[in-house]
Amino acid sequence: MPLGAARFGFAGGDTSVEVQYLVIAGGGGGGHDAGGGGGAGGYRNSYASETSGRNSSTETPLILDKGIAYTVTIGGGGVGGYSNGSGSNTVFATVTSIGGGKGSGYNSSPGVGGSGGGGNEYSDQNGAAGTANQGFGGGKGNDEGGGGGGASEAGDTDAQGDGGDGLASSITGSSVTRAGGGGGGRSITRGGRSGTGGTGGGGNGTPHDVTGYPGTANTGGGGGGGGSYDGVGNAGGGNGGKGVVILRYPASATASTSGLTTSVLNGTVGSEKYTVITGGTSGTITWS
């Protein structure tokens, strides 16, 4: 067994495979009526020496037994609009990333999550907290809704409302940034601007009477907060982006799945293979 790798699912004489993972939960939905941006889904990374969520150290890869089916659940993004919600958890084997917190709507509270949702403009509301080693908290509402937290930074306050940026990973062989927070929305009567979504799939917030933009699917990006006309022509927030699981393992192993949707299955990158799982709520993956 490689030094530092975590053993899971020991099955006697079966051979094993070292699996490096990137596990991202669904992003939170944006708030309505100058609402806060949704927080990004929790971000956990054990690939190479890359940064994991909340700018923490790389996690330890898993040593998994061949022939054993390991559970995978891809977390959905939280619904935006007027009854917005937080994102759902993503699970791979023993690894769970927490869904992003919802952005605050008018007369509601932001959600705690992998990354926290931003506060509403009208009450200058504080954003909600993120989760240790997964993501940052949301920003305070000011002259706009606060930005949702991202994997690498907190959501903005101070009349900016931008979502927190995500983190980049090259686990597929190309650098891709994921898990950005949603931008905050604004009303027509206050001095701020609508926030820009954080890099990594965060949806943009919007000005008055415009629905917030959604987070990008399979990045865990938070939805943008919707704009408000101070009670006339109010708009809802955008949906959060669905999560993803990306796995990298030796070329000598071959993965098969059941009940899951993959965009890549046993793709080749350098001297290794990788699999990208984009959907499924009760599926499994097995190596041979």
pLDDT at 127 over 50: yes
Q: What is the pLDDT of residues 152-190, one digit of tens each?
A: 999 997 768 999 999 999 999 999 999 999 999 988 766
Query: DSSP readout, 177-197?
Result: EE-PPPPPP-BSSSS--PPPP
Q: Which of the four pLDDT bands, split at 50, 70 and 90, describes residue 13?
A: very low
pLDDT at 3 over 50: no
Distance from C-alpha of 258 to C-alpha of 256, rounded to nearest angstrom: 7
Structural domain boundaries enclosing 70: 1-288
Distance from C-alpha of 287 to C-alpha of 65, rounded to nearest angstrom: 8
Provide the CA 188 distance to its chain's centre, in angstroms. 30
For residue 257, give the 3-state DSSP assignment.
Answer: strand
CB burial of 116-137 (b: ≥16 within 10 Å; e: otherwise) equals bbbbbbbeebbbbbbbebbbbb
Number of folded domains in the chain? 1
Beta bridge partners of 167: 178
User: CB-based contacts of 243: which residues, under 8 Å, 6+ apart?
Assistant: 23, 24, 25, 26, 27, 41, 74, 75, 76, 77, 87, 88, 90, 97, 99, 218, 220
Q: What is the mean pLDDT of residues 54-74?
A: 98
Q: Which two tokens stand for residue 279?
A: 């959907």
Q: What is the mean pLDDT of residues 54-79?
A: 98
Q: What is the mean pLDDT of residues 250-276?
A: 97
pLDDT for the residue 5: 59
